[in-house]
Amino acid sequence: VGFGYFVLVYVAAESRLRGVCGEIRPGLTLAALDELMSRHGLGPPPKGSGVSHLAETRTFGRYGCQVTLEGDIVQNSKYVFAD
């Protein structure tokens, strides 16, 4: 059972994270982004303006979203794979 869960997490990771990154749209506030991150197991939290890599914790950071913030507002988001 443990091995099956591990495989499933990675097999579905790309499509799952593409969907999550798609939810992070321009104009989203930092407060709303924090809630979305908590709901989907992403971290670490961004530290203000600039580019942040929000990694999925259950894939140990291999899959995530690159988010650009200006102040407390999302400007851009895209899916990233860190191999």
- Per-residue pLDDT reduced to its tens digit, 24-76: 999 999 999 999 999 999 999 998 899 999 999 988 889 999 999 999 999 99
d(CA 36, CA 49) in angstroms, rounded, equals 18
pTM listed for this prediction: 0.85
Positive or negative: CA dihedral 78, 16, 60, 30: positive
pLDDT band, very low/low/confident/very high, at 1 (cuts 50, 70, 90): low
| Residue where the block lists tokens 């097999």 | 11
